[in-house]
Amino acid sequence: MTLTQPRADRPALGMLLMVGFCCLAPMSDATAKLLARDFPVLQLVLVRFAVQVVVLTPIVSITARGWSMSRLGWQLTALRAALQVAGIWLMVTGLTYLPLADALAIAFVMPFILLLLGHFLLGEAVGRRRLTACAIGFVGTLMVMQPSFVAVGWPVLYPLGVAFVFAAFMLVTRRIADEADPIAMQAASGGLATLVLGLAYATLPAVGTLAVAPVSGHLPLLLLMGGLGTVAHLLMTWSLRHAPASTLAPMQYLEIPVAALIGLLIFGDFPNPLAMAGIGVTVATGLYILWRERGPA
């Protein structure tokens, strides 16, 4: 199969897979936020991708999925790996300054970016209902994101950076989703990221001195962070294999209520009434898009 032979979309399946991503990704972020108290962010990113390689490479070999891709496919996979490294680094760094729900809320300018890029770069249809639903969902995001930019300060730039980086990441994933097997593509991306980050630690003194030796209590959390992140992004990759980015963008608002719940249970961050109302708006928006997908865009 080549890049010019797209498979038929299955929007309902794509949305279901994206819901899985929206549940697992905040759990991985919360684990990284806990670990960032003891480890430098770059080391956590390296561990995250190393676990991805260890988990997925044997699956690719056992199931004989193969690594075959065109030259363009490998180039896009390398670009995808670089974007994923940058996005995870920006998010984990932002989480060292911001509550989990706030960081995700700020990052959720991404669906608007994704809709526009998907329309102008990939020619994906962006209908009036989807655009309206995204606008309503963004209003809910603003209700959750209560701190002003002045109050939050410069760390607000980290989740904003995440928004732009992951919008590009999702478009690149969508571009090669029909050529590459999702598990093989995730394993290849993880391998490239691990290689680059590992070489940085091995050859750059300023980077190598940041490493912290984990103790036994850290190991389960490190494995959990990598495992959850691996499965979450695999679900995202599968979702983009079955539905356009512009269709899936509004569904990602469901990450916010999940993050708010995790923040309450782990960090004691309880949303106030305005934030709770905003969470309700985001959930309603996602459910509306799921219902409307059977009709015209």
Listing DSSP states for 193-205 in one string gives: HHHHHHHHHHH-H
Contact (CB, 8 A) for 273 and 45:
no
Residues 173-196: tens digit of each pLDDT? 877 877 777 888 889 999 999 999
Residue 85 domain boundaries: 17-292
The pLDDT score that the predictor gives to residue 105 is 78
Residue 160 is assigned to a structural domain of this protein: yes
The Cα–Cα gap between 223 and 267 comes to 20
Residue 8 is assigned to a structural domain of this protein: no
- Whether 137 shows a pLDDT value over 80: the answer reads no
Contact (CB, 8 A) for 251 and 129:
no
Query: Can you read off the two tokens belonging to residue 75?
Result: 């180039």
The Cα–Cα gap between 242 and 91 comes to 26
- pLDDT level of residue 266 (50, 70, 90 thresholds): very high
- Whether 289 shows a pLDDT value over 80: the answer reads no
- pLDDT level of residue 2 (50, 70, 90 thresholds): very low
71-75, 144-148, 195-199, range with greatest mean pLDDT? 195-199
Query: Can you read off the two tokens belonging to residue 64?
Result: 């004989």
Q: What is the pTM of this model?
A: 0.80
The pLDDT score that the predictor gives to residue 200 is 85
Residue 208 is assigned to a structural domain of this protein: yes
Residues 223-255: tens digit of each pLDDT? 999 999 999 988 988 887 888 776 787 777 788
Residues 8-50: tens digit of each pLDDT? 578 888 889 999 999 999 999 999 999 998 999 989 999 999 9
The Cα–Cα gap between 114 and 120 comes to 10
Lowest mean pLDDT among 3-12, 77-86, 270-279: 3-12
Map tokens 């912290």 to a residue. 212
Residue 7 is assigned to a structural domain of this protein: no
Residue 263 is assigned to a structural domain of this protein: yes
The Cα–Cα gap between 263 and 258 comes to 9
What are the percentages of helix, strand and coil residues in the chain, rounded to 5? 80, 0, 20
Residue 3 is assigned to a structural domain of this protein: no
Query: Can you read off the two tokens belonging to residue 267?
Result: 């960090």
Contact (CB, 8 A) for 251 and 18:
yes
The stretches of 63-109 forming alpha helices (DSSP H) are 71-95, 100-107
The Cα–Cα gap between 22 and 276 comes to 18
Count: domains in the chain? 1
CB count within 10 Å of CB 166 equals 24
- Whether 166 shows a pLDDT value over 80: the answer reads yes
Phi, psi at 212, each rounded to 5°: -125, 130
The pLDDT score that the predictor gives to residue 204 is 78
174: nearest Cα among 245, 227, 114: 245
Residue 2 is assigned to a structural domain of this protein: no
> pLDDT averaged over the chain?
82
The pLDDT score that the predictor gives to residue 155 is 81
Residue 4 is assigned to a structural domain of this protein: no
The Cα–Cα gap between 115 and 80 comes to 19
Average pLDDT of the segment spanning 111-123: 72
What is the rounded (10 degree) CA torsion for 243, 244, 245, 247? -80
The Cα–Cα gap between 69 and 75 comes to 10
